[in-house]
Amino acid sequence: MIIFWRLFLAHLIGDFTLQFDAVNRLKRNHWWGMLVHTGTHLALSVLLTWQYLGRTWFSFGAVNMPGWAALLCVFALHHLQDELRVFLIRRFHTPDNTLHFLWDQLVHGAVIFIFSPVIGFQCSGCIISEKMIALAACFVLVSHFTTVLVYFVDKDMYNDRFPSFDEKYFGIAMRAVLWLFFLLPGRSWLPYLLLWLGYIAWLRWRRVLDFSHIGNYAGLAFTLCVGALSRYILFHM
């Protein structure tokens, strides 16, 4: 799973961490804006898989595809998928909602999985270990990915706007601390996690947090799931 986790991390960083509002507007209005967006994905993927690009990643019958060719296929399919999403929204007014967002991410993840070698690769000599790559991907999931997920949930339920700068990063910090408790050794993580959840509930009671109930619970539930996965990766893989 070495290649999968590295491509998945590159996807998350390119689709969420580095997809600023300006990039999002450009990709929806200019062909070159979309190329900037998907080209960022390709550059990150090459950077994270550089030492494996000459090896065979994907085999089908007599076809053996090296890493560089697999990355070009992932890049092309990502570009087509994003262009299709923009076209459907603009031409047919397809709802840009939670379901569409999750389906889009599922397709991207499936493409990455198909072109990633699952077995036969070792991480000897890696500057960053496979576990650290996987945990980095989990961190982006609970930070920037969940920010967008909560936005879509709130938009669908309450026609809410995208969170402001302070709301966005306060939510990221809140979920990041919750996620970090899962990485503590032994059983010490559980009381800290419960105390933090209680503190979040108190903040909502005092109206310090302005997230909707559904958006808040969706974000926390997703963070708890990713946290459990992260703990398994760190201590049991």
Phi, psi of 58 (to 5 degrees): -135, 130
Extract the tokens encoding 80. 């087509």
Q: Are 213 and 200 in contact (CB under 8 A)?
A: no
The predicted structure's pLDDT at residue 1: 79
What is the residue extent of each domain of the chain?
1-124, 128-237
Of 101, 69, 84, 83, residue with least CA distance to 37:
83
> pLDDT tens, 43-77?
999 999 998 999 988 777 778 889 999 999 999 99
Q: Are 111 and 74 in contact (CB under 8 A)?
A: yes
Of 27, 71, 29, residue with least CA distance to 48:
71
The predicted structure's pLDDT at residue 176: 96
Residue 58 pairs in a beta bridge with: 65
> pLDDT tens, 148-192?
999 898 888 888 777 777 788 888 999 999 999 999 998 889 999
